[in-house]
Chain A
Amino acid sequence: MCETCGCGESNSFSIRKPGEAIKNNPEHTHTHSHSHLHDGSEHAHSHSHAHTHDYNHEHHHHHEESDHAHHHHDYQHKHSHITEIKVETDILHKNNLIAERNRGFFEAKNIFALNLVSSPGSGKTSLIERSIKDLSKDVNFYIIEGDQQTMNDANRIEAAGAPVVQINTGNGCHLDADMINKAVKKLEVENNSLLIIENVGNLICPSLFDLGESKRVVIISVTEGEDKPIKYPTMFQSSDICIINKTDLLPYVDFDINKAKEYAHQVNHHLEFFELSVKTGEGIDKWYEWLKSQIS
């Protein structure tokens, strides 16, 4: 989205490797022009009239009026034709097309791609960090980090030892397929690897944007409400995997883990669960087993 006036989609995102200076993407420069009409003349009315003439010539014509007065000048025939175009196009078709291209690219290169979504603070980055540290012998990790601002997450991932690019969305609230398409090129992902895309921390907007991932993974932590799955159902409905993180804190919070799973299953009965604590490592082996089974 355009940072200057909020008038565009993903016009001003940046994709950087750690340590790289920000530079403007020439493909995404645009100009801003705004017209401000305050005289009410934006209100246009169109009227179409069909006139049948003696010589059987039928045509439609059009008057544009902004003063609400109706003048029928039958002697001034303006020949214009209103055509109805049946569009029937999905509003997100562009994103979906690019997502499918990404998906095809991943399949051809045997890249298993995960789209990690959650509220801010559920532990997405920590889970990626720990997974890299524990599995780097067996798995080729590539990471795309998505945040509105800062290189902080990319720096953490780099320190953990995996190639990473950071997408800063500026004011944008989600990653889209085009950003991933460009980020993957920059990241130069090798064959037979695991690509983890950490989406912008937001349980609403990213749910509508397919990135071309193999699986979508939603994370909740036990410090959040157990009713999150029904409060933000669209995300849980569109996910394949649900990780419940920070289980080491269960004794200290009023989080009913069974209730949370029950709610999540009400929204999406296909969801597969992993209960774990990134901090203590409790339950994390099952997650690793699953990861390895997906990429082998």
Chain B
Amino acid sequence: MTPAALLVALALLSVGAFWIGKSRSLAIVGGTRGVRNLHSLPSHYGFMTALWCALPALAVILVWLVFQDAIILRLVTDHLPAGVRDLPANELSLVLNDVRNLVAGNVGRDAVSEAARGAADEYVRLRGISRMSLTVLTLVMVVCTALFVRSRITPELRARNRVEKVVEWMLIGCSTIAVFTTIGIVASVAFEAFRFFSMVSPIEFLFGTNWSPQTAIRADQVGSSGSFGAVPLFAGTLLISLIAMVIAVPIGLFSAIYLAEYANPRFRTYAKPLIEVLAGVPTVVYGFFAALTIGPALRGWGESFGISVASESALAAGLVMGIMIIPFVSSLADDMISAVPQSLRDGAYALGATRSETIKQVVIRAALPGIVGGVLLAVSRAIGETMIVVMAAGLAANLTANPFEAVTTVTVQIVTLLVGDQEFDSPKTLAAFALGLVLFLVTLALNVLALHIVRKYREQYE
């Protein structure tokens, strides 16, 4: 059976095991009338039988599948004709790749060599044996455990407690996935980044001002030593984020103030969700909008004022990114403003302050830490934003503060370096992971800081 069919069969068998356990527990106490003599509900005995059958079998299947491919390939390699078997490692892996492709049906039989064809047949034969034995092993295991558990069911068996213990461990297992994700990110990105830093010094990477990641394919190629000074990328990222914040913070903050303090409830119920629609639009749509509408429009305006604006200017990308971030700023600021206690406002009104004076001098000041936290979150969002800049910002590393010129960003470079063919040991590819590490650390620091500030602030008025 294929692994998928085996899993379906296992599921069906577990259902069967459930019924075996349940009916056994009922039979042992003489039908539904005797249920009160059981320690747990009959269904608990059923669940226990099913779990005891399914979990070990599942573990065996997983382990088997993880190692199956490697072991079969090893056997297939031994089976290859001597001339092919003694090829250097990289040529041998090409042959094995052919074998795999042939088995998967990606290529026709005529497209590969005689040796690969023989090996593929051998592969299919061995895989058949392996699947057969796995199926038999699983089925025998399931039936044996079901019979064993059935024989152990007594009225005193604490089935509920056992089932609940397993469920609780499953819940715990699920909740650790978040931790493993973080570990996975740090480990994978940092590992590749360290390999990069063993080829390029971190000092050059962090403080160099020349970024041209092309490395030589042939040793005698001209002008392709590759230089990895990432300062122009950091500067470009900051420039675009700055433009975005210049758009997003005033508009977001003022609309939050208006919606929270001035707008009548009807206007608010329509305007607030509508503004939040801006946050739900996929970023690729903003990228298209920036590249095809805003970019050319800005260049046209620039020409009419006599300024030369690049068609992939930092301004176009920053502007559109700012629009995207407006709802983040406005909904966070709205939360913070609404959390300011009414008594503070009443106090200001009682002293004769107008509404705007109250807002400016009392509400905003009270909400300031929260608003700053929200803005920091928005900055981290802007730094990590990818699609808008990939589609609307430039590719050439350009160290400038002029918003009308094209600049490139960290995320653009990660995408450019990693999309397409890659070899995992060239500094060009690994540089993307080093950039990813910087991006992760910077956004992490901003998030931790922002969440800390926001949490502190929330506690203040709770």
Q: Do A and B bind each other?
A: no
- B positions within 8 Å CB-CB of A: none
- A positions within 8 Å CB-CB of B: none
